[in-house]
Structure 1
Amino acid sequence: MLRISGIGLAVLALGATGAGWWVYQHLNGNINSVSLDGKGGTEKADAFGRTPINILVIGSDGRTSSEDCRLGGGCAQTGVQSESGSNADVEMVVHISADRSNATVMSIPRDTMTRIPACSDAKSGRATGGYYGQINSALQYGPACQVATVHQLTGIPIDHFVKLDFAGVVKMSDAVGGVSVCVSDDVYDTYSHLKLAKGAHTLKGVAALEFVRSRHGFGDGSDLGRTGTQHLFLSAVIRKFKSAGTLTDPTAVYGLADAATKALTVDDALGSVKKLVGLALDVNKVPAHRMTFTTMPTAPDPANRDRVVVGAGAKELFAAVAGDRSLTAGASGKSGATGPSAKATADAPAVPASRIAVTVENGTALTGRASAVARALTDQGFSPATTTRNAPASADSTSLTYGPGQQGEARTAAEALGLPTSHLRQGTARGLILVVGGDWPSGTTYPDNSPSASADSGTAVPNAHAQTADQAKTCAPVSPYRTVKLDGIPMTPSQAYTAAKGVPDSDA
C-alpha cells in the first residue's frame, strides 16, 4: 500500500514539473505484473455503487538476486533461488473502504497453519493438489496461490497483490530519506543484526530492513512481535508521505518512483503507472487516524508449539474487513442497504448540492437540532432555500424521504451527511425531507450506532493489537525475554546490546 501511494504521489509530482512522457514510459517499463486468474474472489459494490479495495501485500524472503543474498544471507548452500523458492515472509491484507474514509491493515503471521488449495504457477510450472501447511509456503506456487490461500482462510475478497523483496525494502527506505522509528530499550537482535540504543532513530537502507525483519528483538520474540514493529514502521512511512514537503524535490521524487516501480511485482490489474496512480489517490484520501493496523488473533498450534492457528476473535475480524466495517472509533461503518429504494438511489447519478434544497425536521426533544443540521448542509453548498421546522411527531430513527425522480438529490444529501441508505425512503410528493431522529442527538454527521462500527479500535477486535497510523510517539517494545544468543549464551536483546560493545549500531 505504501509503495503504491509513493509511486502515485511521485508520478503526479513529476507530471506537474513537466518531466514528460519519457519518465512515464520509463516507470511503466519498470513494473512487473502477473495474473491473479480470479483466485481472490470479487468485491461487491455498496448501495452507492462504490467498491472497497483489498490488496495482499507480500514481503518475499526469496534470495532471487545476488543483492537479496547479500542482504538476507542464507545463500551459502543454495545460491540464488528461483522465484518458486520464495516464501511470504510478510503478509498484510490492506482494506480500503468503499467510501475511502478509512482503511485496515491486517497482518497474518507467517507461522499460521492452514489449508493450501490446489494451485499451479504458469511461470514456474510448479503445481500442488493442495495440502495442510504453513501459510507462507503458498508463495512457492506463485503469488496467485498466496492470494487464493488468504482468501480461503479469511473469506475476504482479494482484488490485488503487491510483492516486495529484501532489496526493495532497502531501496524504498533510502528513496524516502529514511524512516523515523522508536525503540523502548536498547536492542540487539543477533539474528537480523538490528542494533539500536533506546529512543528515536531514522533508519535507511539495511538498517530499515533489519528493523522490519527482526523477530527476536521485540514483543515476545516471535513473528507476532514482529508484526507490531512492522506496523510502527509502515505508520511512520505513511506519516512521512503525508507530511508537507516530502515530495517537493523533483529529483527525490523521481528516485522514489523509480525505486518503487523497480521493487514491485503486482497483479495485472495494477500493472501500469496510470492504474497505480489511481489507487494511490484512493489511499491518500484516508487520514492517518483512520488507518488501523491490526494482527490476526492466533492460538498455539496443538501439534507444534512453534506454529499458530486461527484464534478467538479472528472470524469476527475477518467479517469486519469483508463487511467493510472500520475498526476506528466513530467510523461510519458499511453504508449499504438492500431493497429497491437503496438500489435505485445507488444507481442514480449524484446531483450538485447547489441545486438541492432540504427541509430539515427536528424529531427529537432537543432544541436546535434541525437548525444545526440545516446549517451544515448550506455550509457544504446546498441551496439557501433549505429550511427547518419541527417534525409532526417524535422520531426514534433518522430518515430522508425523497420524491419521484429525486434519487440523485437524495444520494447527494445522504453522502454529505454520512447517512446510510437504509435510512432513505421514497415518498409520493416532490421534495427532500430529512427528519433528525433520536439516534442522532448531536453533531452534523450521522453516527453509526452499531456496536461493531462505533467501538474503539483497541476493543473492536480483542487480541488483535490494533493501533492507528497517527500514533507517532509509540515505541517498539523490546523483548524482555532471552530470545537471542551471543557467543552461544542466551540473553535478552538489551543484555546483548550491552555485551556487544564492539558491534556498531545499525544507524551509526
Structure 2
Amino acid sequence: MSDPWDGPVGQASRKRTAQVPGQRATRSGGRGSSGGDGTRPSGGRAAATRAAASPSRGGPQSRRRAPRTGRGRRFLRVAGFCLSALIVITAGAGWWFYQHLNGNIHSVALDGKGGTEKADAFGRTPINLLVMGSDGRTSEADCALGGGCSKTGVQSGSNADVEMVVHIAADRSNATVMSIPRDTMTRIPACEDNEDGRSTNGYYGQINSALQYGPACQVATVHRLTGIPVDHFVKLDFSGVVKMSDAVGGVSVCVSDDVYDTYSHLKLSRGAHTLKGVAALEFVRSRHGFGDGSDLGRTVSQHIFLSSMIRKFKSAGTLTDPSAIYALADAATKALTVDDGLGSVRKLVSLADDVNKVPANRMTFTTMQTAQDPHDEDRVVVGQGARTLFSSIADDRSLTTGSGKRSAAASATATATDPVVPTSRIAVTVENGTTVTGRAADIASALTGQGFSSATTTANAPSAATTTTLTYGAGQKAKAEAVAKALGLSDSRLRQGSGQGLTLVIGGDWPTGTSFPGATSSPTSADMKAAVSHTNAQTADQAHTCAKVSPYKTVTLNGVPMTPTQAYAAARGKPDSDA
C-alpha cells in the first residue's frame, strides 16, 4: 500500500526522522543552542562564534543556515489532508448522486414478450424502444393535470394514449420514430401484470387498452401488430411530461394559427412559443386543436414537439451545463418507468448517448398508415403501406439517405399508386394441409394480429398438401397480394380459382413459424414509397415546421361548436398557455 502524498509507507517515515549531521548545531547559535554532539558549548556568544569559525566545524561553510524543512513538510501534510478530504467528499457526493438517481428509477421486467432484435453482419444490434405516454390518473398530481377525477378520484388503471416505436439503427447512423394512433383496433394477446396481478386471456380491442395489464402487455401487443422486435420501453405520465419540459428549460414550438383547444386547454397565438410545464403537457395532449381533430393530427404535433426537444438536447448549452444536466437527470429518472434492461443510470446514459450519435437530419418521424374501421367510424385499423413501414423498421432500413436528404421512401407523395385495400376488410379461410396440429390457427392468429379481418376462419384441408398456396376468386387479386405480402409468400404461390374469397392452404413446406421460410425482405422502390405514403414523414432538423391548426369545428365553447381559431377569438379573457 502507498501513501498518496509521501511515497511508499515506511520509507517516508524513515526520511522524516533521519537527521542531517550537525544540523541542530548550525542553528542561530544563541541561548539554547547545542553542539553537534548534543552538549551545550560554554562561553556564551563569543564561544559560540569561535566554535562556528573553527576549521574543525567546517570553516566558513558552517555559517550557512540549514534549510527549514519542518514547516514545509507540515504544510504539505495539511494540504494533503485537505486534498484527501476533498476527494472523499467529492467521491461521496458522486456516489450519493448516482445512488439517488438509481433509486428514482422504477423498472419492470419484459420477460422477452417483445421479441429479440437481430444483429447486422458486423454483430451490431439495433435498438427498438416503445415510448408510452400514459393517461392514468394514478396520483393526485396526475388528477390535477389531467382532470376527470372529480367523480372517480384517483384511479388504478391507465391507457397508452401515446405510443411511439423508436428505432435506432445498428450502426447508429439513422433513426425512425413511428407513432401508432391510440384508436387503432387490434388483437390484444393473453397477458398478466406482474405488479398488480391483473390479467386477460386476450381480446380484440383498442390498442392503447393493453397498458391496463402492464407495460409488458403493451409491448407484446405492439410486437404482435407490427412484427417489430421491441426489447425496451419508456413510460411517462402527465407529471413526467411537465418535469421533463421544465428540466430542459422549455421546448420551442410553432402553431400555424391562433388555437384554443377547450379540451386540453391549450391556448396559443399564431407563431413561435417556448412551452414549459403544464403548457407543454397541453400541447402534446391536444387532439382537437390540430389536423382533423383526431388522434392522427395529434401525432404530427407530438413529432414537432419531440423534434424540438431533441434539438435542445443536442445543443451545447444543455449538455455542458452541470446544473442543467443534474436537473434533467433527476427529472428523467423520477418521471420514467422503464424495462429492467434500462433500469440504471448507466444504461439510460448509454441509451441517451446512442440517440445523440444520430444526426437530427437522419431522424425520421412517421405515423402508421391507417384505414377506417369498417365496424366503427371512430376507430382505425392498419392501412395500406403499413406492413412495408413495419418491415422497413424491423429490417433496419433507413428512411433517409447518408447525406441526410430524404430517401425515395421519405420523398414519396401522399397519393398511393395502388388501390387501397384495408386489411380489416380482408378475411381468409386458412386450411391446415400439414400433419402439425394447430398450424391453421397459428397463421390465422398472425393475420388477425396484423389487422386482417376477425372473420378469418380455420379448417383442415381436404387432403394433405406438400406446397403452400393462396387461391383467390374473381376480383380478389389485390386482397390476395396483401395477404401474401404480410406472410412473406411470393407471387408464385398465388392461384386464381373459381370460388369466392381467399383460401390459404398451409403445406408441408411451411411446418413452423408465421412468416414463410426463405421470404425475402429486399425492398423495391415501390415498397419504400409505400412505406411512407400517408405518414406525414419529417426529420428532426426541420426547426421551422408549425403544427397545423384544425380548420374544422372540433371544439365547443359555451356549448357552441367552433374551430380552435374561433374559440381563441371568443375566449379573450382566458390567458394564453405560455403567458
Q: Is TM-score (shorter-chain normalized) higher than 0.5?
A: yes
Equivalent AA in structure 2 for residue 64 of structure 1: T
Which residue number corresponds to residue 275 of structure 1?
347
Give 5+ residue unaligned stretches, structure 1. 1-15, 333-449
Match of 2:135 among 47, 51, 61: 61
CA separation of 1:255 and 1:98: change in aligned 2, threshold 3 A? same
Which residue number corresponds to residue 366 of structure 1?
none
Task: Kindly indicate whether residue 201 of structure 2 is the aligned counterpart of residue 129 of structure 1.
Answer: yes
Q: Provide the C-alpha distance between the structure 2 equivalents of 1:78 and 1:464, rounded to a whole number of angstroms.
A: 37
Which residue number corresponds to residue 374 of structure 1?
none
Q: Provide the C-alpha distance between the structure 2 equivalents of 1:470 and 1:18, rounded to a whole number of angstroms.
A: 40
Match of 1:463 among 530, 534, 548: 534
Residue correspondence of structure 1 range 377-388 to structure 2 within 5 A:
none
CA separation of 1:294 and 1:18: change in aligned 2, threshold 3 A? farther
Which residue number corresponds to residue 484 of structure 1?
555
Residue correspondence of structure 1 range 429-468 to structure 2 within 5 A:
460-468=531-539
Which residue number corresponds to residue 292 of structure 2?
220
Q: Is the 8 A contact 1:457 1:466 kept in 2?
A: no
Match of 1:189 among 237, 261, 268: 261
Which residue number corresponds to residue 578 of structure 2?
507
Equivalent AA in structure 2 for residue 174 of structure 1: D
Equivalent AA in structure 2 for residue 27 of structure 1: L
Which residue number corresponds to residue 385 of structure 1?
none
Q: Is the 8 A contact 1:117 1:149 kept in 2?
A: yes
Residue correspondence of structure 1 range 1-400 to structure 2 within 5 A:
20-82=94-156, 85-330=157-402
Shift of 1:19: 5.7
Deviations 1:73-112 (A, max 9, x none): 0111111112xx1000100000000000000000000000
CA separation of 1:199 and 1:37: change in aligned 2, threshold 3 A? same
Shift of 1:54: 0.2
Shift of 1:281: 1.2
Match of 1:496 among 567, 570, 574: 567
Q: Provide the C-alpha distance between the structure 1 equivalents of 2:528 and 2:320, rounded to a whole number of angstroms.
A: 34
CA separation of 1:453 and 1:240: change in aligned 2, threshold 3 A? farther
Identity %: 81
Shift of 1:330: 4.2
Q: Name which one, 1 or 2, has greater alpha-carbon Rg.
A: 2
Q: Provide the C-alpha distance between the structure 1 equivalents of 2:541 and 2:91, rounded to a whole number of angstroms.
A: 30
Q: Provide the C-alpha distance between the structure 2 equivalents of 1:109 and 1:43, rounded to a whole number of angstroms.
A: 23
Match of 1:68, SS state, is helix
RMSD of Structure 2 on Structure 1 (CA): 2.0
Equivalent AA in structure 2 for residue 26 of structure 1: H
Match of 1:20, SS state, is helix
Q: Provide the C-alpha distance between the structure 2 equivalents of 1:506 and 1:191, rounded to a whole number of angstroms.
A: 13
Q: Provide the C-alpha distance between the structure 2 equivalents of 1:476 and 1:63, rounded to a whole number of angstroms.
A: 27
Which residue number corresponds to residue 438 of structure 1?
none
Equivalent AA in structure 1 for residue 372 of structure 2: P
Deviations 1:402-429 (A, max 9, x none): xxxxxxxxxxxxxxxxxxxxxxxxxxxx
Deviations 1:248-272 (A, max 9, x none): 3222221111010000000011100
Q: Is the 8 A contact 2:117 2:127 kept in 1?
A: yes
Which residue number corresponds to residue 78 of structure 2?
none
Deviations 1:416-456 (A, max 9, x none): xxxxxxxxxxxxxxxxxxxxxxxxxxxxxxxxxx9959899
Q: Is the 8 A contact 2:245 2:276 kept in 1?
A: yes
Q: Is the 8 A contact 2:311 2:360 kept in 1?
A: yes
Deviations 1:145-167 (A, max 9, x none): 00000000000000100000000
Q: Which aligned runs of 4 or more in structure 1 are off by greater than 4 angstroms?
A: 16-19, 450-460
Q: Provide the C-alpha distance between the structure 1 equivalents of 2:402 and 2:533, rounded to a whole number of angstroms.
A: 18
Equivalent AA in structure 2 for residue 318 of structure 1: F
Q: Provide the C-alpha distance between the structure 2 equivalents of 1:489 and 1:141, rounded to a whole number of angstroms.
A: 38
CA separation of 1:17 and 1:456: change in aligned 2, threshold 3 A? farther
Equivalent AA in structure 1 for residue 128 of structure 2: N
Match of 1:93, SS state, is strand
Q: Is the 8 A contact 2:257 2:271 kept in 1?
A: yes
Equivalent AA in structure 1 for residue 126 of structure 2: P
Shift of 1:247: 2.6
Q: Is the 8 A contact 1:458 1:467 kept in 2?
A: no
Shift of 1:460: 4.8
Shift of 1:329: 3.2
Q: Provide the C-alpha distance between the structure 2 equivalents of 1:157 and 1:331, rounded to a whole number of angstroms.
A: 27
* Higher RCO (C-alpha under 8 Å, 6+ residues apart): 1
Q: Is the 8 A contact 1:189 1:484 kept in 2?
A: yes
TM norm structure 2: 0.63
Which residue number corresponds to residue 398 of structure 1?
none
Q: Is the 8 A contact 2:385 2:530 kept in 1?
A: no
